[in-house]
Structure 1
């Protein structure tokens, strides 16, 4: 009996009385297999759709469930994944993945005839799963109150998810058998891969049963397989299998099936086997603690695969594979302390990936990202990058409004870059014969992950005549989608730069020094042996450190692309001051993104407005220090900032940053007659600054923050204002005799610190309470000063004495 059976009545009851339910069930509970089949068999729901995040798991679950009914997939149990759809009028339980559910909701927001949506292994938080759940919740709220949603996983952050979904939680016990944890410490983290084969040997000698080994990717799988090859040749009772997403069905099935009688199996796998997949006979798990994940670089727009440490939740998932049939063992690479320091959960895709597909889906859905019910929200930087890409792909306009091509792109059900390319090449086919077939070759190369030479065109030529099976499979798929026949004729390779530009307009690059600069302004590194004299590159594959290494590209000329992608090119008349040569540059330029395609002297006269704008740009770049008169304005700037701080309802902010942001408002009128850089430097900044406020506010500023204060001696003493702390007034002590209290500024809001000086202008006392000083510390000062400065007046009662700036003999 599976653990999920114990909570089944409770789950059905909750689904009956609530719209949404959260199910937490660890590995082995039966939530992905027994539960959906039982819900269908009991006829609690007429039609169920279950989302699986991985194609391998979806295919195997569908196959397993169909076998339980002695049926083929496509009858009562259906399957809908990329390149494989098996459904019929009999289908009552459909397993879907790869964004398929999102497409179903977009095409039919009411989800007609569907009673229950199940989101399996939701903790994996793929972008497509987040998108589909958001749309499902909106459909449920606005169109289908009777629609039920079941979100389930082995390692959910239950409290957080429950708050987000506002629903009850049903918890099930997990594996039936205990799992012993063993930790293998590492002396050198960089040598972690070399430790895997010895761990496998140790597990084989210490434990019985088959072994499941989790590794980050295919490269590591090949390394470990080679390390074990010679000794396994001597052990006929041990079978070595590999399991990863890009394998054929036959290879995957061989890895999943139980070992033959009297034999043991070693399965080297990626994290495809982490969830919703049962591998028969496994009772030992070896966990490298690593995974391969995409790390998105906002600057270059590249998602680069990186090897990362897994979270504790993933580690628990992996260990769960060992306790399905009997007590098991997990060997973890690293110490227990390292394990406990791992993140609790893996970072969701929505926070670490290109979200252009999500924005396009939301736009077609008729909403914006801010209004979608999302558990986590991407950053503004992610949003701006994705929005700019969709503008370049002609899916939306600058205001974010959906364009006709954007609707067609979304309907294709593939990523926006590929969708844009496919639709455009079909439009261009009459003029550029063979470009659609060439695009299919390019897409097959991208999807099959076949290694490409740096020069893209040579790789495609070679693949036409000598291609591995995975490339041929992808080529057949894309040719079918594009409705084009691969007739074996020569590829129209001369169009390859257009094909690349249609998918990667942001990766069009211009030479800069020894490297190149992308259309978005990011610098990238060229290959040391290729494109040495090339001015422009269309980059197909970009990655490496910080996503800045060109792996595959081809040369192009802007003249070739301009008729095809005119919206990428922007003509501007530019007026700039070049300080090096002390001259204006007045040019007509054509830009592609941030780099200049062409430039020539402008055909229009240099007008006053353009010149003033150029001076404003100089000030924005250099700051207020460009003005020689800045020093004379130091006190005024501080007074204006204090006024904004203490009287925000009367005075606007006046920091340098605020001033530079509003140059057009206050500085531009003073630039009309400026024709030379030296004239700009000598501009009277004080006049321009005061002109920001009207005459009444200028008077108010002088009343609140006077430049000078008149003291009892008749002298007008300059006030030194500071942004933090009191104003300072440095004055000879004799000049404030007769002043009983410290001066007051800003209606008492700003204290004044008196710096009382000796006749030789040396500090004697700092005080903000003059009356207290006269009564206390003054006596000590008087005693000392009488001896040092006998010619000066040192009265016994300074609070009532006559102030003076003279010696006694001249008073």
Structure 2
């Protein structure tokens, strides 16, 4: 067995684990920690024949590590060394080391919190900080502290900041090992890429093939970029001895194994990989790294409740991991598609997934563990409260948790399936309806990327088309369908979806003959999985999602006219989310299967357009108004409240203010000016006290027409006592008898200065200005001409008679010669006629 750098530290690691329950091992890439450490611990006395579980962040790494360790022992996988990954298990009765993916550990812990039969749990490549790694470590730490004091926990990483992890593990010892790495020459581009990144990668690969020896490993952000670079390289006619091998998570196991296998003699390989190739496995023969500097990460938005894949710059730690791939077996070279100046601004490490992802799986697992508050466990980073609470609300909608956050029997069943919580709920709801097979097909489709997505003009978003393709492939004798309605199909992805669907059908014991075959039920089944993404069509052809956010298709398609649909996949960009996958759903199905979540609301409001109170019954599913109908027997108090609100919005002008009502209100205002005990009847005061003075008179009314029947003077009179009415009439009269005998209305529009507008001739003989309020307030006299126009405004009538009258008389006598203009107004007879009676 070849010596590796990790070998020198294995004795110290054994000594630590003999006396301590936890340890942290930091080993540089190429040190050999993944394959040497588990084997070295296999015969330790504390293990007592129990198993070792080693967690790997990816299925490919788990299978590769297990095969390599089995080969070192001269065995097949499934004997001493085995692995468990999603839908693929190779373990036997004598298996002592199980390499598992992180989600598998969670299920093992839920089934057996004490992990009986397990002596140690190793977290490999912990620096990647996946959600399941953080969760698995938190659960293991609680199990260790409560149930299994003897359980060994070892955290291993290449680039981890060891101190925080060691502190979390009760100040566990930290051991370090240098890696075995050959020198790697690093090159940067002189200036930033101006065009498409894929074109720059193709040119750089072609250049590297000419200059350097060995295989090439290209790091790209995702499968789409890999396909485009692959197409670009294919157009270069590189030669038969050069092979292109894609490497990403959703490829088949055979394709992944082919990518990491050594090249044949005198042949070269170009591996186009995502970040899956950063850690835990060695791609044989690689001497050249070409790094795009980009990676794709899921970003969850608590604001919208949706996750989007975002392309971001790699961290410095990731960049160094990628660079190190070139120096595993010989000197190498790394070409970075960013400038040396940009390199200085790389973040030190990637953001932990727990801070940026959808926490629905974590919340459900914690509830199954018996934890409703994540602070009860030990974490490197506590789950964000906003995302945690939002995830809990979704799980309550799914029936997985009750209102208190406690897991239900249905929720516990969901955790046992190995599907994501949403898809698990969908399948469980579909089984009794005899749509379990269709639900398994949908679950498989939604667990993989869209096999149409690589098309420039993909078919419409209707997921039923994908079901048709899947079923067509299952019926084909050769098991392949190359196209559908003129659109190319990624047959490898389609085959994986079909295999997974069949796996789940078999796992649930679904018999096709007993199933209903109605592809139009896709929308309802998706609604079970994504109740928050049930959408209603708006008038503009766009959609409103149940949680209130807008959504739309990128282009008009048949689903654009669906009254209701469920969006299974959509993004979180811009003001409206773009819908990628959806299916129509019937309103009757929503009413039947979501009845417990549907709320009825009696809405009684004032409508400005009709100037009336409208009473209607509304049926809501979240932000979606499913139905609206007239409310036949509304509560009179609710009608009253709506009418009062309407008056408040419209203003007091909506009320029928007759001349006498308006004057009475003005008289009250005048009295309130002198005595605050009198009612305040200003607009502001009356609006503020509508319920006190107006509401008792409004029962049975609900429109503008009804309001016009009110007697506003009578309503205002009810605000004062009988004694106050007498006082009002005495001190603030409605009219004043003038010398001519006429009763003239007093205008109280300005309470500071009430006005008496009277013809000048009717005031002959009156020496002083008349007063009100017990003689305290003189009236403002508007002395009118025969044409009813003011010729003088005064509060000093005596002074007017002495001086101003004679000038006014001179002017008016010339204009109105037939009228009576005496020389002595104080001795003249007052008259309301042209001349007084003889």
Q: TM-score, normalised by structure 1?
A: 0.73
Q: Decide whether aligned partners of structure 1 residues 213 and 487 sit closer, same or farther in structure 2, where only a CA change above 3 A counts.
A: farther
Contact in 2 for aligned 1:519/1:595 (Cα 8 Å): yes
Distance, in Å, in 2 between the alignment partners of 1:15 and 1:96 is: 21
Number of the residue aligned with 1:590? 619
Q: Does 1:511 align with 2:537?
A: yes
Contact in 1 for aligned 2:5/2:31 (Cα 8 Å): yes
Contact in 2 for aligned 1:511/1:517 (Cα 8 Å): yes
Contact in 2 for aligned 1:612/1:671 (Cα 8 Å): no
Q: Decide whether aligned partners of structure 1 residues 499 and 5 sit closer, same or farther in structure 2, where only a CA change above 3 A counts.
A: same
Number of the residue aligned with 2:551? 524
Distance, in Å, in 2 between the alignment partners of 1:520 and 1:415 is: 21
Query: Which range moved further: 326-335 or 53-62?
Result: 326-335
Q: Does 1:464 align with 2:493?
A: no
Distance, in Å, in 2 between the alignment partners of 1:342 and 1:535 is: 48
Q: Decide whether aligned partners of structure 1 residues 34 and 668 sit closer, same or farther in structure 2, where only a CA change above 3 A counts.
A: farther
**Paired residue for 1:18, among 16, 20, 23?**
20
Distance, in Å, in 1 between the alignment partners of 2:197 and 2:520 is: 46
Number of the residue aligned with 1:602? 631
Contact in 2 for aligned 1:81/1:97 (Cα 8 Å): yes
Distance, in Å, in 1 between the alignment partners of 2:644 and 2:443 is: 48
**Paired residue for 1:542, among 567, 570, 574?**
570
Distance, in Å, in 1 between the alignment partners of 2:4 and 2:646 is: 71
Q: Does 1:175 align with 2:203?
A: no
Distance, in Å, in 2 between the alignment partners of 1:303 and 1:54 is: 20
CA RMSD of aligned residues (A): 2.9
Q: Does 1:391 align with 2:396?
A: yes
Number of the residue aligned with 1:325? 329
Q: Secondary structure at the match of 2:620?
A: strand
Distance, in Å, in 1 between the alignment partners of 2:165 and 2:703 is: 61
Post-superposition shift, 1:168? 2.0
Distance, in Å, in 2 between the alignment partners of 1:135 and 1:669 is: 59
Deviations 1:304-340 (CA, angstroms, capped at 9, x unpaired): 2222211111111111111111222211111122122
Number of the residue aligned with 1:87? 91
Number of the residue aligned with 1:248? 252
Contact in 2 for aligned 1:76/1:90 (Cα 8 Å): yes
Post-superposition shift, 1:438? 1.3
Number of the residue aligned with 2:263? 259
Distance, in Å, in 1 between the alignment partners of 2:568 and 2:363 is: 23
Distance, in Å, in 2 between the alignment partners of 1:33 and 1:53 is: 15
Post-superposition shift, 1:167? 2.0
Post-superposition shift, 1:268? 1.1
Distance, in Å, in 1 between the alignment partners of 2:86 and 2:310 is: 25
Distance, in Å, in 2 between the alignment partners of 1:385 and 1:277 is: 37
Number of the residue aligned with 1:552? 581
Distance, in Å, in 2 between the alignment partners of 1:111 and 1:96 is: 14
Number of the residue aligned with 1:50? 54
Distance, in Å, in 1 between the alignment partners of 2:164 and 2:645 is: 50
Number of the residue aligned with 2:103? 99
Q: Secondary structure at the match of 2:166?
A: helix
Number of the residue aligned with 1:500? 526
Number of the residue aligned with 2:140? 136
Q: Decide whether aligned partners of structure 1 residues 238 and 478 sit closer, same or farther in structure 2, where only a CA change above 3 A counts.
A: same
Number of the residue aligned with 1:439? 439
Number of the residue aligned with 2:504? 478
Post-superposition shift, 1:523? 0.7
**Paired residue for 2:41, among 39, 42, 60?**
39
Q: Secondary structure at the match of 1:246?
A: coil
Number of the residue aligned with 2:424? 419
Query: Which range moved further: 297-306 or 147-156?
Result: 297-306
Deviations 1:690-739 (CA, angstroms, capped at 9, x unpaired): xxxxxxxxxxxxxxxxxxxxxxxxxxxxxxxxxxxxxxxxxxxxxxxxxx
**Paired residue for 2:125, among 116, 121, 126?**
121
Contact in 2 for aligned 1:58/1:96 (Cα 8 Å): yes
Number of the residue aligned with 2:11? 9
Distance, in Å, in 1 between the alignment partners of 2:407 and 2:230 is: 50
Distance, in Å, in 1 between the alignment partners of 2:211 and 2:29 is: 24
Deviations 1:560-581 (CA, angstroms, capped at 9, x unpaired): 2222232221222234444565
Distance, in Å, in 2 between the alignment partners of 1:618 and 1:162 is: 68
Q: Decide whether aligned partners of structure 1 residues 403 and 575 sit closer, same or farther in structure 2, where only a CA change above 3 A counts.
A: farther
Query: What does 1:630-779 correspond to in 2, within 5 Å?
Result: 673=695
Contact in 2 for aligned 1:422/1:482 (Cα 8 Å): no
Post-superposition shift, 1:384? 2.6
Query: Which range moved further: 331-340 or 100-109?
Result: 331-340
Q: TM-score, normalised by structure 2?
A: 0.71
Number of the residue aligned with 1:405? 410
Contact in 1 for aligned 2:245/2:270 (Cα 8 Å): yes
Distance, in Å, in 1 between the alignment partners of 2:284 and 2:420 is: 35
Q: Decide whether aligned partners of structure 1 residues 337 and 579 sit closer, same or farther in structure 2, where only a CA change above 3 A counts.
A: farther
Number of the residue aligned with 2:731? none
Distance, in Å, in 2 between the alignment partners of 1:671 and 1:522 is: 43
Distance, in Å, in 2 between the alignment partners of 1:618 and 1:44 is: 82
Deviations 1:198-226 (CA, angstroms, capped at 9, x unpaired): 22123223322211111111221122222
Query: What does 1:337-352 correspond to in 2, within 5 Å?
Result: 337-352=341-356
Q: Decide whether aligned partners of structure 1 residues 525 and 671 sit closer, same or farther in structure 2, where only a CA change above 3 A counts.
A: farther
Deviations 1:129-150 (CA, angstroms, capped at 9, x unpaired): 1111111011011111111111
Query: What does 1:225-374 correspond to in 2, within 5 Å?
Result: 225-234=230-239, 236-368=240-372, 369-374=374-379
Q: Decide whether aligned partners of structure 1 residues 577 and 384 sit closer, same or farther in structure 2, where only a CA change above 3 A counts.
A: farther
Q: Decide whether aligned partners of structure 1 residues 580 and 171 sit closer, same or farther in structure 2, where only a CA change above 3 A counts.
A: farther
Q: Decide whether aligned partners of structure 1 residues 459 and 671 sit closer, same or farther in structure 2, where only a CA change above 3 A counts.
A: farther
Distance, in Å, in 2 between the alignment partners of 1:190 and 1:58 is: 37
Q: Secondary structure at the match of 1:457?
A: helix
Distance, in Å, in 2 between the alignment partners of 1:146 and 1:380 is: 33
Distance, in Å, in 1 between the alignment partners of 2:389 and 2:410 is: 20
Distance, in Å, in 2 between the alignment partners of 1:460 and 1:201 is: 40
Query: What does 1:145-160 correspond to in 2, within 5 Å?
Result: 145-160=149-164
Distance, in Å, in 2 between the alignment partners of 1:563 and 1:89 is: 49
Distance, in Å, in 2 between the alignment partners of 1:615 and 1:188 is: 66
Deviations 1:346-377 (CA, angstroms, capped at 9, x unpaired): 11211111101111111111112232222112
Contact in 2 for aligned 1:295/1:304 (Cα 8 Å): yes
Contact in 1 for aligned 2:548/2:623 (Cα 8 Å): yes
Distance, in Å, in 1 between the alignment partners of 2:640 and 2:67 is: 72
Post-superposition shift, 1:41? 4.6
Q: Decide whether aligned partners of structure 1 residues 134 and 176 sit closer, same or farther in structure 2, where only a CA change above 3 A counts.
A: same
Deviations 1:269-297 (CA, angstroms, capped at 9, x unpaired): 11111110111111211111011222223
Distance, in Å, in 2 between the alignment partners of 1:87 and 1:598 is: 56
Q: Secondary structure at the match of 2:16?
A: helix
Q: Decide whether aligned partners of structure 1 residues 231 and 618 sit closer, same or farther in structure 2, where only a CA change above 3 A counts.
A: farther
Number of the residue aligned with 2:740? none
Query: Which range moved further: 374-383 or 88-97?
Result: 374-383
Query: Which range moved further: 478-487 or 555-564?
Result: 478-487
Post-superposition shift, 1:171? 1.2
Post-superposition shift, 1:7? 1.5
Which ranges in structure 2 are unaligned for 5 or more consecutive residues?
453-458, 474-480, 482-490, 651-687, 708-838
Post-superposition shift, 1:670? 7.4
User: Which structure has the greater CA radius of gyration?
Assistant: 2
Contact in 2 for aligned 1:300/1:548 (Cα 8 Å): no
Distance, in Å, in 1 between the alignment partners of 2:276 and 2:462 is: 33
Which ranges in structure 1 are unaligned for 5 or more consecutive residues?
430-434, 623-665, 680-811
